[in-house]
Amino acid sequence: MQNRIAFITGASRGIGRACALALSSAGARVVLAARQPDKLEQVASEIRAAGRDAFVVPMDLAATDSIRAAFAKTAKEFGRVDILINNAAITKDGLALRMKQTDWDAVIATNLTGAFVATQQVLLGMMRERWGRIVNITSVVAEAGNAGQANYVASKAGLIGLTKSLAQEMASRSVTVNAVAPGFIDTDMTQGLAPELKERILAAIPLERLGTPDDVAAAVRFLASEEAGYITGHVLNVNGGMYM
C-alpha cells in the first residue's frame, strides 16, 4: 500500500478516522473528507505527527457539486485515487408509518447516492491504472433489517447491491469492489443508546462486546491491500457474530 492514494469519506471521527489511521500506517497517503474541516484537521495532525501524508478536503455527500469539487481538488494535488473508502453516513430514524419523505430522501441521498457519485469520480482513473480498491461501509442491519430504520437499512442494503454490480463491471481492470458490514460499534452513534437497549444488543452478540472502530478498520485495511487482490464482490461481516 506504499504511496497509494486513499480517499476516506466521513474521516473526521469514528470508523472513518480509524480507517484513515490504519491505511496511513500501512503506507498510504490519505485524503480526509467530511463536512467539518476543523475536525478533519485534527485527524490530519495525528497522521502528520507520525511523519505521514494527510490531505483535507471539505465535502458534503448530499451535494453532487461538493463531491465533484472535492475529487477535483484531490486530483490536482495527487493526480489519482487508488483506494476509495465510502464510509460517511447519516441516520434519521423513525417508524415507516410516520417517516417524513424528507428524512427518507436525506438518508438515501447521503448514504447511497453520495457513495455512488463519489465512486463515479474514481472509476476512470482506476481503469486507466488497471488497479483500484473500493470498500463500501454497509451495516449488519442491511442484512438483518431493523425496525425504525427503513431509510438507513435501505441505503445500506443498496450499497451491497452497488458493491456486487460494480465488482462485476470493474473486475476486468483489476479493480476490486467490496463491502464491510459492521455490527454495533462503539462510536458516537451508539454511545447515546439507552442502557437497557445496550444490554439487549450485547445479549445478541456472541462475542459479548461492542466492536471498536479499529476492528472495522482492520478489515478495511485488508480489503484495500495488495493481498486482497483476488477478493471482489464480497461483504465482510465485522459484527461479533450477531448475524451469520
CB 127 within 8 A of CB 196: no
Residue 240 phi/psi, 5-degree rounding, is: 70, 10
The pLDDT value recorded for residue 84 is: 99
The pLDDT value recorded for residue 219 is: 98
The pLDDT value recorded for residue 187 is: 84
The pLDDT value recorded for residue 47 is: 98
The pLDDT value recorded for residue 54 is: 98
Q: What is the CATH topology of the domain spanning 5-236?
A: Rossmann fold (3.40.50)
The pLDDT value recorded for residue 188 is: 77
Q: Let me know how long the chain is.
A: 244
Statement: residue 161 has pLDDT above 90: yes
> What pTM, to 2 d.p., does this model score?
0.97
Q: Where are the domains of the chain?
A: 5-236
- What digits encode the pLDDT tens for the residues 28-65? 999 999 999 999 999 999 999 999 999 999 999 999 99
The pLDDT value recorded for residue 196 is: 87
If we measure between CA atoms, which residue out of 71, 112, 65 comes closest to residue 55?
Answer: 71
Distance separating alpha carbons of residues 185 and 72, to the nearest angstrom? 32
The pLDDT value recorded for residue 157 is: 98
Using 50, 70 and 90 to split pLDDT, how confident is the model at 74? very high
What percentage of residues in the chain have a pLDDT greater than 90? 93
In angstroms, the Cα distances linking 201 to 125, 204, 206, 226 are 42, 5, 10, 35
The pLDDT value recorded for residue 193 is: 77
CB 154 within 8 A of CB 109: no
The pLDDT value recorded for residue 165 is: 98
CB 20 within 8 A of CB 34: no
In angstroms, the Cα distances linking 145 to 50, 92, 104, 165 are 40, 15, 16, 21
Q: Which residues contact 58 (CB under 8 A, 6 or more apart)?
A: 33, 34, 35, 36, 37, 40, 66, 70
- What digits encode the pLDDT tens for the residues 177-231? 999 999 999 987 677 778 888 899 999 999 999 999 999 999 999 999 999 999 9
Q: Rounded to 5 degrees, what angle do the CA atoms 72, 74, 76 make? A: 70
Give the active site residues. 152
Distance separating alpha carbons of residues 112 and 116, to the nearest angstrom? 6
Using 50, 70 and 90 to split pLDDT, how confident is the model at 109? very high
Rounded to an integer, the average pLDDT of 226-237 is: 98
Q: Which three cell numbers stand for residue 138?
A: 454497509
- What digits encode the pLDDT tens for the residues 3-35? 999 999 999 999 999 999 999 999 999 999 999
The pLDDT value recorded for residue 173 is: 98
Distance separating alpha carbons of residues 176 and 210, to the nearest angstrom? 29
The pLDDT value recorded for residue 231 is: 98
Distance separating alpha carbons of residues 14 and 122, to the nearest angstrom? 24
Q: Strand runs (DSSP E) across 50-185, as ranges?
A: 54-58, 83-86, 132-137, 175-182
Using 50, 70 and 90 to split pLDDT, how confident is the model at 235? very high
For CA atoms 168, 174, 175, 180, the dihedral sign is: positive
For CA atoms 21, 27, 32, 38, the dihedral sign is: positive
The pLDDT value recorded for residue 198 is: 86
